[in-house]
């Protein structure tokens, strides 16, 4: 498969994964009614296989696919600005690494906590998992904003795609402010889903192939 079309497919797959993850979190894996760590641990134990599958999809597989999109965008931008392309790639790979590591830590930590029936291990696992892969989206936000900047400057994507990406990127950066997290995380997530669809369709239709 040609490079940019693979990148376009990857972008659309990221939205599919987000959608599946959000639906699962809001239905069969909804823990919003659980108030204590012990209750969440008991819930995770009862749904361990499904939790591991969900985390593997939303973090590990997501992170791998994100690498493919990052490299495709690198090849697209590098003919215009090598430094910008490398900067975008750097942030994309760091974000992918954090997301993948977060998923692996959660899965292994959950299995260890269940093995020793330890709420403390589970709480520690959740803390590390959230710290590097969930409760602060500044790296993903910066990556998005850099792509948006390059897109506007070199007219790489339709303007509406850039506007959606701009909103998503700002939302991601603002998640670093604890008091704004709840109101900005969904702006980032939902904005990126639409942005990825726009990027994906554009790359799949693009005639010029780089590399």
Q: What is the pTM of this model?
A: 0.92
Neighbours of 179 (CB within 10 A): 8
Q: Do residues 18 and 192 lie in contact, with contact meaning Cβ atoms separated by under 8 Å?
A: yes
Which tokens go with 87?
A: 């900067």
Sign of torsion over alpha carbons 23, 5, 96, 137: negative
Cα 153 versus chain centre, distance: 25
**Tell me, what DSSP letter sits at residue 157?**
S
pLDDT of residue 207: 64
Task: Let me know if 196 is exposed, middle or buried by CB neighbors in 10 A (0-12, 13-18, 19+).
Answer: buried
- Average pLDDT by stretches of 10, the chain with 211 residues: 86 96 92 91 95 96 97 94 96 96 96 97 94 85 97 95 97 92 92 96 74 42
Contact 88, 69 (CB under 8 A): no
Residues in the chain: 211
Q: Please tell me whether residue 53 adopts helix, strand or coil conformation.
A: helix
What is the per-residue pLDDT for 210?
43
Res 195: pLDDT? 97
Helix 138-154 crosses helix 62-77 at what angle (to 10 degrees)?
Answer: 30
Residue tagged 């599919």 (tokens)? 16
What does the alpha-carbon distance between residue 20 and residue 48 come to, in Å, rounded to a whole number? 18
- Predicted confidence at residue 1, as pLDDT, reads 57
Q: Give 130-186 pLDDT, tens digit per residue.
A: 888 767 899 999 999 999 999 999 999 999 999 999 999 999 999 999 899 888 999
Give dist(CA 190, CA 30) in Å, integer.
19
CA distance 42 to 33: 13
């Amino acid at each position: 498969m040609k490079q940019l079309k693979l990148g376009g497919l990857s972008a659309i797959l990221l939205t599919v994964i987000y959608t599946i993850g959000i639906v699962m979190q809001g239905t069969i894996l909804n823990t919003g009614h659980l108030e204590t760590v012990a209750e969440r641990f008991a819930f995770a134990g009862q749904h361990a296989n499904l939790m591991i599958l969900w985390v593997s999809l939303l973090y590990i597989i997501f992170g791998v696919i994100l690498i493919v999109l990052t490299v495709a965008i690198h090849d697209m931008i590098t003919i215009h600005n090598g430094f910008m392309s490398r900067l975008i790639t750097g942030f994309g790979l760091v974000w992918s690494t954090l997301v993948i590591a977060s998923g692996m830590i959660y899965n292994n930590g959950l299995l260890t906590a269940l093995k020793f029936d330890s709420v403390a291990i589970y709480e520690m696992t959740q803390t590390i998992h959230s710290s590097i892969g969930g409760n602060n989206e500044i790296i993903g936000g910066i990556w998005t904003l850099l792509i948006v900047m390059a897109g506007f400057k070199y007219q790489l994507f339709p303007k509406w795609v850039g506007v959606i990406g701009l909103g998503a990127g700002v939302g991601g950066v603002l998640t670093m402010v604890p008091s704004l997290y709840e109101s900005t995380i969904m702006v980032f997530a939902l904005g990126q889903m639409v942005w990825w669809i726009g990027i994906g369709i554009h790359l799949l239709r693009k005639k010029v192939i780089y590399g």
